[in-house]
A and B are shown apart, each in its own frame.
Chain A
Amino acid sequence: MMIRLSGIRRTYVRPGGEAVRALDEVSMDIDRGEMVALVGASGSGKSTLMNIIGLLDQPDAGSYHLDGRDVADLDLELQAQLRNEKIGFVFQAFHLLPRVSALENVELPLLYSRRAAIEGLGLAALKAVGLADRARHTPGELSGGQQQRVAIARALVNDPDLLLADEPTGNLDAQAAQEIMEIFRGLNAAGRTIVIVTHDSGVAAHCTRVARLDSGRLVSDGVGPRPVAASQENS
């Protein structure tokens, strides 16, 4: 089991002092090779859950095991290292550094890598998303779809096992969204575990499993519209 969440609770305190329970007793397991859609209305807690899975946030209660290790035992430094080596992030707003070339954006995670040899990895990742010829372009010179592909290349550059995407097609037109989802499917077919936060049923339709959250609770979790890929069984 790659991801094991049990009894996860996360409460925010609004500036007014009002406590908001973003996640309430959420338990779920995600296997290696799955492609999971986390769906729900906005405010349902799906992004909070993704942040916790991605070690960007910590639960107030409950336990989270990633690859068999209890995340609560990891200090900030080890968490950063795990994010760097095992997890790739894709965001709705791309979060590319402006005025920096596509290649340098893709190479950003390598900056914080323990590896010594990083030559060529950035370009290889760009090639994987079909943008090797745009390496010198800055984000401002790229279309939305291209920018998101650069962001995916950045997520892939350290060859992570797990990809986390938060509304990856939210800012894209239908055509670009379709291309992005094709890329995710290809990556999943190649064995990568993918978790996508979305409220778009069209995106969920690409996934092998759909988990629905409502007001911080997991209300349904089942096999998705897409047939389970063969690569899923090697967990």
Chain B
Amino acid sequence: MRTLRIVKDCMRSLSRFKLRTGFMMVGPLIGVAALSFVVALGGAAVNKLLATVQQLFGASSIVVSSGGGFFMGGPRDATRLTIDDIEAVVRDVPGIDTWDPMVVVPDASVRRGDRNCLVRLMGQSERAERAWSRGAERGRFIDATDVAGSARVALIGETAARALFAEDYPDGQDIQIGSVPFRVVGILERFGTDIHGMDRDNEIVIPVTTAMRRVMNVDSIRAAKLLVTEPADVEAVTREVSLALRARHRLAQGQPDDFTVINSVAVRQMVGRIERVVFLYIPLVTATSLLAALAVAASLMLASVNERTAEIGLRRAVGARPADIRLQFLLETAATTLAGGIAGVILGGLVTALVAARISLSARLGPGAIALGLALSLLTGLLAGVTPARRAALLRPSDALR
């Protein structure tokens, strides 16, 4: 009863000092908003990454790319990986289930009548459907005959289809890639954006042989994907593939690889590292902004205690125990930072929704992020309130009233 009355009085006090309450709320507001934002968006990004990685790599993939250096960018002295290389490796190394070569033109111009667009053009084999877990949504995928005969057939992604065809069904229609005419035989399965934010539906797939001979005029491939029979053997098979390729390329000992191999295990490790950064380090760094909020709240409350010395003396005179005074100042601080935290969660949620919509990522504030934000803002207030509350409670009433 008595405590309840003190709590109510406390809330009234907060509205008496609007400016101070406002300033104290800003710190936790910004800190918690930033925290909820990075947790929600980072979480969504990692989930997206996981989904993409799962789709691209699964548990049993090895990707061999031409050129040494690093996965995703880095130096490449490109031209030495050939279909023959991969065929030989697959023949020599046991445990490989299937494989698919790949060439890429990042910006190929495609035309149909007076409509045209830029797409990512990929040359693949009939085995790509299994190797990359992506087939035809409608129509058919490319087949072995297409590849053997360098057929001018194409599967077209949804975005590209929308750009080139208004309402009519693209199947069986002709398009022109560069100056080469192709017949559309199917629509690619939807993919959405990948981890780089690239629209993977703005793609066209044609037989790898056609791409090399008729479009790009090259005899080497960009990369190849190998699926191993037993997921548990990925590491062992990867080592064998590397050795076989080095032998075929006649690389002496000490000479660096002129190709890059990455497998499911390495990708999983990379995802794990990213998860740790996104879910631990970034939130931790963001949460340190709450330390600044804590310092601000503590100093504002200390100033408030000094300014309200007479009030504290009066409260003691009319019957407040030191514990009541301590409770009052602790509550005032904690309620203020918690209110800031609540506002921060709302702001963080709004910003997350806005940004997520812009980059078409399905991010939203989960209960975990909300609970974390509120708990941290409350903790900030409790810690910030300790010293002011103690100082207020220790005042001797006769001194405070002087």
Contact B316 A80 (CB under 8 A): yes
Of the listed stretches B318-326, B348-356, B359-367, chain A binds: B318-326
Asked if B112 is at the interface of the complex by the 8 Å CB criterion, the answer is no
Contact B321 A76 (CB under 8 A): yes
**Cβ contacts B106-141/A at 8 Å (1 or 0 each):** 000000000000000000000000000000000000
Give every chain B residue within 8 A of A116 (Cβ-Cβ).
1
Asked if B317 is at the interface of the complex by the 8 Å CB criterion, the answer is yes
Of the listed stretches B4-12, B35-43, B239-247, B273-281, chain A binds: B4-12
Give the shortest distance, in Å, between B272 (CB) and chain A (any CB).
Answer: 56
Contact B1 A84 (CB under 8 A): no
Asked if A176 is at the interface of the complex by the 8 Å CB criterion, the answer is no
**Cβ contacts A76-90/B at 8 Å (1 or 0 each):** 110011011100010
Asked if B391 is at the interface of the complex by the 8 Å CB criterion, the answer is no
Given contacts A85-B319, A95-B310, contact A56 B397 (CB under 8 A): yes
Distance in angstroms between the alpha carbons of A154 and B319 in the assembled complex: 12
**Cβ contacts A96-107/B at 8 Å (1 or 0 each):** 011110001000
Give every chain B residue within 8 A of A93 (Cβ-Cβ).
310
Asked if B179 is at the interface of the complex by the 8 Å CB criterion, the answer is no
Interface size class of A (residues with CB under 8 A): 20 to 34
Give every chain B residue within 8 A of A154 (Cβ-Cβ).
318
Asked if A110 is at the interface of the complex by the 8 Å CB criterion, the answer is yes
Contact A77 B321 (CB under 8 A): yes
Contact B16 A84 (CB under 8 A): no
Give every chain A residue within 8 A of B324 (Cβ-Cβ).
80, 112
Contact B396 A111 (CB under 8 A): no
Distance in angstroms between the alpha carbons of A142 and B132 in the assembled complex: 82
Contact B321 A112 (CB under 8 A): yes
Which one of A91, A104, A112 lies within 8 Å of B320 (CB-CB)? A112
Contact A83 B319 (CB under 8 A): yes
Instruction: Write the chain A residue with the least CB distance to B402.
Output: A47
Asked if B268 is at the interface of the complex by the 8 Å CB criterion, the answer is no
**Cβ contacts B383-402/A at 8 Å (1 or 0 each):** 00000000000001110010
Which one of A57, A81, A111 lies within 8 Å of B397 (CB-CB)? A57
Known: A56-B316, A89-B317. 6 other contacts (CB 8 A): A76-B322, A77-B321, A85-B319, A89-B314, A111-B5, A111-B319
Residues of A within 8 A of B (CB): 48, 51, 54, 56-57, 76-77, 80-81, 83-85, 89, 91, 93, 95, 97-100, 104, 108-114, 116, 154, 158
* 21 A-B residue pairs with CB within 8 Å: A76-B322, A80-B320, A83-B319, A85-B319, A95-B311, A95-B313, A97-B311, A97-B314, A100-B16, A108-B318, A109-B318, A110-B5, A111-B5, A112-B2, A112-B315, A112-B321, A112-B324, A113-B319, A114-B2, A116-B1, A154-B318
Residues of B within 8 A of A (CB): 1-2, 5-6, 9, 12, 16, 310-311, 313-324, 396-398, 401
